[in-house]
Amino acid sequence: MGATIIEKIIRNNTGKDVKPGDIVTVNVDRVMIHDIFIPFVASKFEEMGFQKLWDPDKVVLIYDHLVPASQVDDTRHFRVGNDFVEKYGMKNIHRADGICHQLMTEAGYVKPGNIVFGTDSHTTTYGCVGAFSSGIGYTEMASILGTGTMWVRVPETIRVNITGTLPKNVMAKDIILRLIGDLGADGATYKALEFAGDTVEAMSVASRMSMSNMAIEAGAKCALFTPDEKTAAYCEMTLTDKEKDLVGDADASYCRVINYNAEDFVPVMACPSNVDHVKPIAEIAGKEIDQVFIGSCTNGRLEDLMAAAEVLKGKKVAPFVKLIVTPASRKIYQQALENGTMAILAEAGAMITHPSCGLCCGRAGGILTDGETVVATNNRNFLGRMGTSKVGIYLASPRAAAACAVAGKIVVPE
Amino acid sequence: MEKFSGKVWVLGDDIDTDIIIPTEYLALETVNDMAPYAFSPLRPELAGQIQPGDIIVAGKNFGCGSSREQAPEIIKALGVKCVIAKSFARIFFRNSINNGLLLIENGELADVAKEGDTVAVSLNEAITYQGKEYPIAALPDNLMDIINAGGLVKAMRKLNGLD
């Protein structure tokens, strides 16, 4: 009997054969804590009576949701975080380098086959390099900091096969939105997603990140891609046989298999106010918009900014539309400066902000009010996410978002 | 087995964590400071109406969205005895157990319960509403261990020889 990717990762970690439904204790390879939750993690950790971290080098603290501070209360999070780092001898802290989920793989903290937990729900992102990563709360994080272990229920796996060549106006974002629409917001709850097929193999690691990032929007515990030569190049490593074997076996047991032809995908948007409320853009075209946001851990990478720049080159943002661009990391910001992407975006009229979560979590950088409409490349369009509860949030790919910014209304990208 | 009853508040499907507590209030110092804003994007008056011992009944995927643990903590701080939903999102489920907020899965009650009515619960056995019994599943042993310890913090304090 073969195994799925998640079963292999848990088997390698525990040294035991596992099947879906088994409850096992795993050894954690790395954890990530972000600024919003560090005060709560710190107080729970001490309340639990721990004196030291199980392994300070395996703990990463990243400031991103509150950077730079937009409310006076935010500064307390940085103070508590800095004190925690000093008290427990941590080295891995990022105070202004970008969004946590970008940095965890970009800075080399996560490798194929790792088991990683983070205090943010989009921790599923690291499945892009074949790691089992998932979001948890601050109490559970505090217990891992003390013990280095966590109990998990081995999930069933939904296999998603995608074959063929994507149309030019379709990005990885359109694929994952379509899948979430097809599965529903709870369609993968407690389950692992596993992506395969030549379309997926042809994708950059950045595109895979957009997909694993949003798996949580269908309720998934994790979303896994098989590590390949692109993964190895991105992680600056040579894959071992064990890492190369992180592939779903032909005779593995899946709870569901979904097959897509790449040619059948069209540009889509998730309409207000649920991520699974997905429609082809052609069906909603013409709606006037007030703002466009290009950024986030879903779509703030260099290829995303370049896709937007390709659309915006030589054009201007519609006069009544605010286009906000937020790179996912400092490294991406610098790369986009160096290759001319930033110049094109600025020339078109974009407001370019510092790398951070920015508008995605609705605390800074362009919040909206009643009756306004925004096209955004991030991962959630929940009520009140980017301002008042009467803001209409449409989630789209960077290419579609850029096209809308120029048109001043929802349009299908070319 | 524990039995209790309470007045119900009825919510729909996909009640996400941004509805339970919007991000703009997450930097307030304590969950008690945040509690008045619970459910504010959907029903701004609800947090002020919920009384200790009340029960929330909801549709599928309750607690979907972010990992914010303030979501179950605030529901507990409002005095809600338990949440009965068709299903729960994964992170919210773990966070609730770790904080001692009781969650009960039932696929039917949300379709029939009317706000303001009373339901009775026999833990790990059944819910009774208007004379009809709705069976519920028992929680796995490892979760009952955490609940019986009084939550994950207390379980860890015991591990560290403090209690």
d(CA A376, CA A385): 11
- What's the gap in Å between the CA of B131 and the closest CA on chain A? 31
Other C-beta atoms lying within 10 Å of the C-beta of residue A387:
19
Answer whether B33 touches A (CB < 8 Å): no
The closest alpha carbon to B15, from B100, B80, B83, belongs to B83
pLDDT in the model for residue B152: 94
Q: Is A241 helix (H, G, I), strand (E, B) or coil?
A: helix
Burial class for A102, CB neighbours closer than 10 Å (0-12, 13-18, 19+): buried
d(CA B68, CA B46): 20
**Where are chain A's structural domains?**
5-262, 269-407
* Chain A CB contacts of B94 below 8 Å: 136-137, 140
pLDDT in the model for residue B95: 95
Topology of the domain comprising A269-407: Aconitase; domain 3 (3.30.499)
d(CA B114, CA B136): 19
Query: With a CB-CB cutoff of 8 Å, which residues 139-158 of chain A face chain B?
Result: 139-140, 142-143, 146-147, 151
The closest alpha carbon to A200, from A192, A211, A191, belongs to A211
**CATH number for the segment(s) A5-262:** 3.30.499.10
pLDDT in the model for residue B149: 85
Query: With a CB-CB cutoff of 8 Å, which residues 54-83 of chain B face chain A?
Result: 60-61, 64-70
- Given a contact cutoff of 8 angstroms between Cβ atoms, the answer to whether B9 and B115 are in contact is yes
* Chain B CB contacts of A76 below 8 Å: 27, 29
H helices of A161-300, where? 172-183, 198-202, 205-214, 229-234, 241-244, 281-284, 296-299
Quick check: B140 and A151 CB within 8 A? no
Answer whether A296 touches B (CB < 8 Å): no
User: Which residue of chain B has the CA closest to A219?
Assistant: B89
- What's the gap in Å between the CA of B14 and the closest CA on chain A? 7
Q: Is B64 helix (H, G, I), strand (E, B) or coil?
A: strand
* Chain A CB contacts of B91 below 8 Å: 121, 134-137
Mean pLDDT score of chain B, rounded to an integer? 93
* Chain A CB contacts of B76 below 8 Å: none
- Across the interface, of B41, B99, B160, the residue whose CB is closest to A389 is B41
H helix or E strand, kind and range, residue A376: strand A373-376
- What's the gap in Å between the CA of B23 and the closest CA on chain A? 7
All residue ranges of chain B with pLDDT < 70 are: 1
Quick check: B157 and A49 CB within 8 A? yes
Quick check: A385 and B67 CB within 8 A? no
d(CA A302, CA A318): 24
Quick check: B27 and A384 CB within 8 A? no
**Between vectors from CA A158 to CA A155 and to CA A161, what angle results, nearest 5°?**
145
**Between vectors from CA A50 to CA A44 and to CA A56, what angle results, nearest 5°?**
95
Phi, psi (deg, nearest 5) at residue A263: -65, -20
State the pairing for strand pair A351-352/A373-376. unpaired
CATH fourth-level superfamily of B3-138: Aconitase, domain 4 (3.20.19.10)
**Where are chain B's structural domains?**
3-138
Quick check: B66 and A385 CB within 8 A? no
- Given a contact cutoff of 8 angstroms between Cβ atoms, the answer to whether A334 and A305 are in contact is no
Phi, psi (deg, nearest 5) at residue A84: -65, -45
* Chain B CB contacts of A136 below 8 Å: 67, 91, 94-95
d(CA A127, CA B35): 34
Q: State the residue for tokens 């643990």.
A: B69
Quick check: B65 and A382 CB within 8 A? yes
Answer whether A63 touches B (CB < 8 Å): no
- Given a contact cutoff of 8 angstroms between Cβ atoms, the answer to whether A395 and A383 are in contact is no
| A207: preceding bond cis by omega (within 30 degrees) | no
pLDDT in the model for residue B1: 66
pTM recorded for the entire structure: 0.94
Answer whether A68 touches B (CB < 8 Å): no
H helices of B88-139, where? 90-98, 109-112
- What's the gap in Å between the CA of B7 and the closest CA on chain A? 27
Q: Which pair of structure tokens corresponds to residue B140? A: 């796995």
Q: What is the 3-state secondary structure (H, E, C) of A43-63?
A: HHHHHCCCCCCCCHHHEEEEC
- Given a contact cutoff of 8 angstroms between Cβ atoms, the answer to whether A217 and A275 are in contact is yes
pLDDT in the model for residue B54: 98
Question: Most distant CA pair in chain B: distance in Å?
Answer: 47
Q: State the residue for tokens 């004190």.
A: A83
DSSP per-residue codes, A327-369: -SBHHHHHHHHHTTHHHHHHHHTPEE--SSSGGGGTSSS--B-
Chain centroid to CA A52: how far? 30
Q: Encode chain A (414 residues) as per-residue pLDDT tens digits.
A: 899 999 999 999 999 999 999 989 999 999 999 999 999 999 999 999 999 999 999 999 999 999 999 989 899 999 999 999 999 999 999 999 999 999 999 999 999 999 999 999 999 999 999 999 999 999 999 999 999 999 999 999 999 999 999 999 999 999 999 999 999 999 999 999 999 999 999 999 999 999 999 999 999 999 999 999 999 999 999 999 999 999 999 999 999 999 999 999 999 999 999 999 999 999 999 999 999 999 999 999 999 999 999 999 999 999 999 999 999 999 999 999 999 999 999 999 999 999 999 999 888 789 999 999 999 999 999 998 999 999 999 999 999 999 999 999 999 999
Q: State the residue for tokens 């993964």.
A: A231
State the pairing for strand pair A373-376/B82-85. unpaired
H helices of A134-293, where? 138-147, 172-183, 198-202, 205-214, 229-234, 241-244, 281-284
**Between vectors from CA B38 to CA B37 and to CA B43, what angle results, nearest 5°?**
95
Tell me the β-bridge partners of A234: none
The closest alpha carbon to A381, from A266, A279, A309, A288, belongs to A279
Given this chain, do its domains A5-262 and A269-407 carry the same CATH topology? yes
- For A185, residues 6+ apart whose C-beta sits below 8 A from its C-beta are A217, A218, A219, A274, A275, A276, B14, B61, B64
Quick check: A40 and B26 CB within 8 A? no
d(CA A126, CA A229): 16
Chain centroid to CA A32: how far? 14
d(CA A396, CA A301): 15
- Across the interface, of A77, A146, A190, the residue whose CB is closest to B90 is A190
Instruction: Taking each helix axis as running N to C, give the angle between helix A302-312 and helix A330-338, from 0 to 180 degrees, rounded to the nearest 10.
Output: 40
- What's the gap in Å between the CA of A362 and the closest CA on chain B? 7
Give ipTM to 2 decimals. Answer: 0.86
Q: How far is CA A136 from CA A31, A61, A120, B98, B118, in A?
A: 10, 15, 7, 11, 33
Quick check: B94 and A136 CB within 8 A? yes
A–B CB contacts, 8 A cutoff, strictly below: 130
User: Which residue of chain B has the CA closest to A47?
Assistant: B153
Question: How big is chain B, counted in residues?
Answer: 163
